[in-house]
Amino acid sequence: MTDTTLLLESFRRNGRVNAHLLDDLTDADLALSDGRGGMTVARLLSHMGVSRGGWLAEMSPEHVASTVAITGTTPIWNWHADDLAAIRALLEAGDEAAIQAVQAHAASGEPFADPHGVGTFPSNPALFLLYMIVHDANHRGQIVALLRQAGASKERLDHLEDGWNLWRA
């Protein structure tokens, strides 16, 4: 199983769904939280971005430079921003780095490195992209729930739900 075409397209669509969400958010939205110790919207989005670079730093360090250039830190797991432009830049750079890493490892047949023995998708490097799609969907759901709890209008929530249309295109 080496054809990654469908999964690459799915991952790109996931990026467009993330962009749809980012396009709707305001600076005020970034501070929303559940009030019970959960992450703010900004922290959830930052976490989504650093997850790509954090995993790549372990699995395919040659593909992490573009994300480290944005965060300015290694390791990048603790990076966080309250700036939509910075978060968007990290997500976009991380998406491209993830695609390049998966394509390189799939083409070479070489598995991702696993220096800590945590299971870095040994059966197929493309599964990393699927992992990120599911990871992002989880956090997007948390963000929409926070917006709903904060009183977002039905029209706004319907607009956010339109992001699903990007999957059916």
* 62 φ/ψ angles, rounded to the nearest 5 degrees: -70, -10
For residue range 110-139, what is the model confidence (pLDDT) as tens digits? 999 999 999 899 989 999 999 999 999 999
Average pLDDT over residues 66-92: 92
The residues near 65 (Cβ < 8 Å, ≥ 6 apart) are 97
User: Hey, how many other C-beta atoms are within 10 angstroms of the C-beta on 49?
Assistant: 28
74 has pLDDT over 80:
no
Q: Averaged over 76-91, what is the pLDDT?
A: 95
Residue 69 CA from chain centroid, whole number: 17
Measured in degrees and rounded to the nearest 5, phi and psi for residue 58 equal -85, -45
Asked whether the beta carbons of 11 and 133 are under 8 A apart, the reply is yes
> Of the given ranges (4-8, 11-15, 25-29, 97-101), which has the lowest mean pLDDT?
4-8
Residue 167 has what pLDDT?
81
Using pLDDT thresholds of 50, 70 and 90, give the confidence band for residue 2: low
pLDDT tens track for 10-34: 999 999 999 999 999 999 999 999 9
Binding annotation: 47, 135, 139
Q: 60: pLDDT confidence band, cut at 50, 70 and 90?
A: very high
Percent of the chain with pLDDT over 90: 86
52: nearest Cα among 117, 101, 113, 119: 101
Cite the annotated binding site for a divalent metal cation by residue number. 47, 135, 139
pLDDT at 40 > cutoff 80: yes
Indicate the pLDDT class of residue 95, thresholds 50, 70 and 90: very high
> CA-CA distance, 88 to 96, in Å (whole number)?
12
Cβ neighbours around 138 below 10 Å, total:
11
**Domains present along the chain, CATH in parentheses:** 5-166 (1.20.120.450)
